Amino acid sequence: MTEPLIRLRGITKTYGQGEVAFQALKGVDLDIDASDFVAIMGPSGSGKSTAMNTLGCLDVPTRGDYLFRGVAVQKLTRDERARLRRKYFGFVFQGFNLLARTTAQENVELPLLYRGESAAARHEQARAALASVGLAGWEHHTPAELSGGQQQRVAIARAIVTNPELLLADEPTGNLDTQRGQEIMQLLTRLNVDRGITVIMVTHEADMAAYAKRVVRFVDGRVESDRRQAQATVVEVA
């Protein structure tokens, strides 16, 4: 059997010390295969956001083992984790996190700028990424000139412009109405199915989690359930 893309074993995360210490994760075991689409759910304070930060190498566990492609992430330095993120990860956030005074294309080019790509290469790849999320022709619009759904598409284009293996989406539909939210979920589904990008998504919305192949539910810092959906929501994306 092939090794999973991600393997967590005995992951704990404690904030603070002594009497004020709070254990956000309490021995989490979790495997995620390449090309999976996992929705992480749970009530406030359940540990799902801490788990997402750990998976995204934005935080390190207090104890336990995190293997990504067989590499022990918890043993990496901060710079090594940053290089891992730049090479393999893409991030999508509830608040879009776009630069207000720059165009859609310039926002999408940012990860390529950090990689040291030439201007010509950045322009070409950013335009291609925007076209792949249905925003061809919108390259020179600023966020203020875009709807919420369009802004999230720009954010997704920015996340995938580097061709990541893993896309981490934190409440990607939380600021959108139902129709725009479904459009974003259809887009994530297409990226997962057509391009094989592994998607891990935190959401509190059951109808959005229905698009995932698998739902992992956190309660009180532990994995309460981990179930594969009998049939994820079927979508047709143009």
Give, in degrees to the nearest 5, the angle at Cα 222 between 192 and 201. 20
Reading the chain (238 residues) residue by residue, the pLDDT tens digits are 689 999 999 999 999 988 888 999 999 999 999 999 999 999 999 999 999 999 999 999 999 999 999 999 999 999 999 999 999 999 998 888 999 999 999 999 999 998 889 999 999 999 999 999 999 999 999 999 999 999 999 999 999 999 999 999 999 999 899 999 999 999 999 999 999 999 999 999 999 999 999 999 999 999 999 999 976 555 554 4
pLDDT given for residue 237 in this prediction:
44
Query: Domains of the chain (ranges plus CATH)?
Result: 6-228 (3.40.50.300)
Do 161 and 112 touch, CB atoms closer than 8 A? Answer: yes
Do 174 and 151 touch, CB atoms closer than 8 A? Answer: no
For 173-194, what is the HEC assignment?
Answer: CCCCCHHHHHHHHHHHHHHHHH
Element (H, E) at 149: helix 148-160
